Amino acid sequence: NAGVMQNPRHLVRRRGQEARLRCSPMKGHSHVYWYRQLPEEGLKFMVYLQKENIIDESGMPKERFSAEFPKEGPSILRIQQVVRGDSAAYFCASSPRRGAGETQYFGPGTRLLVL
Amino acid sequence: GEDVEQSLFLSVREGDSSVINCTYTDSSSTYLYWYKQEPGAGLQLLTYIFSNMDMKQDQRLTVLLNKKDKHLSLRIADTQTGDSAIYFCASSGGYQKVTFGIGTKLQVIP
């Protein structure tokens, strides 16, 4: 029973390029969350998605960032025209249901470095 | 908005007990969590406590919750070198949105 999968594990981009981060939730999980961890900081919530729906994107920057969780396939976090400040570890988590106390299982993260 | 605070660093000797403290601001927090992050890895859920509990014990881990003061602690008994990691305190209310602290780096000295 595979855990949450994220790829790539490491991604290097030059300023102005696009970054695409993928997250495959655990089998049977239909709720996905994205978090960003800046160097020497804790995790900050970005977005919460269910299949084909964005439920809460209150933590997403207003520009350049978007997320989707299609009916088939992984969830994608897309960052357009990356800047150096986007360098961070991006973690995806999944849970089977929506509800207080439902444990979120985390993936290993994608470490993005913008040159 | 919600905020979770914790100290940045803790150093203990192998075999001693470690106590990591955390305070949170959201009084509607329903669940409080402790996660462990080893270098280069994701977050591993260690334990969690429901807000109507004041203590939870799981092998070497003891979680204490003072809801009145919004204070949470994690005690690790007989700390081992393998416990060296960053420990995140986190809270959630409502549906699921989890707020994390900045993380406490635990260093275990052999």
Give the one of A31, A42, A93 whose C-beta lies nearest to B102's C-beta.
Answer: A42
What pLDDT is attached to residue B31? 86
With the CA atoms of A99, A100, A102 and A104 taken in that order, what torsion angle do they form, in degrees rounded to the nearest 10?
A: 100
Residues of B with CB under 8 A from a CB of A: 4, 30-31, 35, 41-45, 48, 50, 88, 92-103
Residues of chain A contacting residue B9, judged by C-beta atoms under 8 Å apart: none
What pLDDT is attached to residue A1? 52
Distance (Å) from the alpha carbon of A110 to chain B's nearest alpha carbon? 9
What pLDDT is attached to residue A88? 96
Measured in whole angstroms, how far is the alpha carbon of residue B36 from the centre of its chain?
Answer: 8
pLDDT in tens, chain B (110 residues): 568 999 899 999 999 999 999 999 887 778 899 999 998 788 888 998 888 889 999 999 999 999 999 999 999 999 999 999 999 999 887 566 788 999 999 999 99
What pLDDT is attached to residue B92? 83
Q: Given an 8 Å threshold on Cβ–Cβ distance, is B42 in contact with A45?
A: no
B43-56 pLDDT tens trace = 888 998 888 889 99
Long-range contacts of A103-107 (CB under 8 A, 24+ apart): A103/B45, A103/B48, A104/A33, A104/B45, A104/B96, A104/B98, A105/A3, A105/A4, A105/A26, A105/A29, A105/B45, A106/A4, A106/B35, A106/B42, A106/B43, A106/B44, A106/B45, A107/A3, A107/A4, A107/A5, A107/A6, A107/A23, A107/B42
Q: Given an 8 Å threshold on Cβ–Cβ distance, is B95 in contact with A100?
A: yes
Give the one of A4, A42, A95 whose C-beta lies nearest to B103's C-beta.
Answer: A42
What pLDDT is attached to residue A50? 92
A52-109 pLDDT tens trace = 899 989 999 999 999 999 999 999 999 999 999 999 999 999 988 765 456 788 899 9
